[in-house]
Amino acid sequence: MSVAEPATTATSATTGPTAPPAAARRPTARRPAPGVLAAGAWLALVALAALLLPLLPGFDPLHGDFAHPSAAPGPGHWLGTDAAGRDVLQRTVAGARASFAVAGLTIAVGLLGGGALGLAAGWFRGPVDKAIGFATDLLMSVPSLILVMITVALRGPSLTVIGSLIGLFTVPHFTRVVRAVVLSLSERGFVQAARMIGTAPLRILRREVVPHVAPVALTFAFTATTVAIVAEGSLSFLGFGLRPPEPSWGGIIAEGRTTLGSAPWISLAPAAVLCLTVLALNYLGEQLRSKGGRG
């Protein structure tokens, strides 16, 4: 035993500490939080309904069942009918398409316009930054909802006009978010090194800056999406959205406000869908922001 013990000691000293098993070394995958799963499932449900249900035969949100006006929810009309006998579920689904179309156009205008301006302001600084800052401050001082209503009244309501105008007023916010990120990145070592070796500015922006800016801008896009959906609903509620009988969430809510006492489902169904959709988008955006902050 006296001879074997030193040999064992020498062997352990040579080989070092015992390596942990492979299962212990393997990182455990984090499961998404229940709230994230619930929010994602709700958005997926609304999006799939808006895309697929209109393809089914018999889907017609403009058709009125005159034998059952203001019918309560039940078989055949799961969310009831409005005063003209139109199915509230079908109109709510069609209204989702209008809201998502406006939101998509808003994000496209805000992200492209604000992203380009924010990159230019944060990278070139000086007079360029001051000029862009003055333009964004000027645009933010304009009462956006009133200007949109005036423009819609003059040009006529359409998803393109509404989405483009709402997107225009999100440009300053995207600009400020992107500018702040670019300013912080411009002092980082990898950007300074690229400058020192003579890399062209546009190449630095494309290869080094934009990949870091994109996640932040896309995270902020969740907030802009909720703004677009709420703004479109507000415009429709005030009568500056799509012309009746074309369905939108705000328009359907406005149509049912006179019958809240006798047929509350006409307004409450689209209002609940609108509220849950905005809540899900806000929650996912907040989760992405907190995850990015920890990273």
pLDDT value of residue 192: 86
Tens of pLDDT, residues 131-187: 999 999 999 999 988 899 999 989 888 889 999 999 999 999 999 999 999 999 988
**CB–CB of 183/129 below 8 Å?**
no
pLDDT value of residue 29: 54
Whether 21 shows a pLDDT value over 90: the answer reads no
Which amino acid, one-letter code, is at 2? S
Domain ranges of the chain: 81-294
Tens of pLDDT, residues 42-72: 999 999 999 999 999 989 999 998 889 999 9
Task: Using pLDDT thresholds of 50, 70 and 90, give the confidence band for residue 288.
Answer: confident
pLDDT value of residue 182: 94
Look up the CATH number of domain 81-294.
1.10.3720.10
pLDDT value of residue 252: 93
pLDDT value of residue 208: 87
Nearest-CA neighbor of 218 among 289, 275, 276, 131? 289
- Residue 162: phi and psi, rounded to 5, are -65, -45
Hey, what's the torsion of the CAs at 209, 168, 145, 221, to 10 degrees?
A: -40
pLDDT value of residue 290: 84
Span of 184-188, 215-219, 280-284 with lowest mean pLDDT: 184-188
Question: Which residue matches tokens 């959906």?
Answer: 229
Whether 251 shows a pLDDT value over 70: the answer reads yes
pLDDT value of residue 225: 94
Task: Work out the average pLDDT over 87-106.
Answer: 94
Nearest-CA neighbor of 107 among 242, 182, 219? 219
pLDDT value of residue 294: 59
pLDDT value of residue 163: 93
Tell me the C-alpha distance between 234 and 240, whole Å.
Answer: 9
Task: Work out the average pLDDT over 5-11.
Answer: 45
pLDDT value of residue 167: 95
Task: Work out the average pLDDT over 252-271.
Answer: 93
pLDDT value of residue 292: 67
Task: Work out the average pLDDT over 226-245.
Answer: 90
Tens of pLDDT, residues 102-112: 999 999 999 99
Q: What's the chain's average pLDDT? A: 87
Provide the token pair at 62. Answer: 């403009």
Whether 22 shows a pLDDT value over 50: the answer reads no
The answer for residues whose C-beta is within 8 angstroms of residue 232's C-beta and 6 or more apart is 98, 99, 102, 103, 162, 163, 166, 241, 248, 249, 250
Whether 17 shows a pLDDT value over 70: the answer reads no
Whether 263 shows a pLDDT value over 90: the answer reads yes
Whether 23 shows a pLDDT value over 60: the answer reads no
The residue ranking higher by pLDDT, 30 or 209, is 209
Task: Work out the average pLDDT over 240-246.
Answer: 86
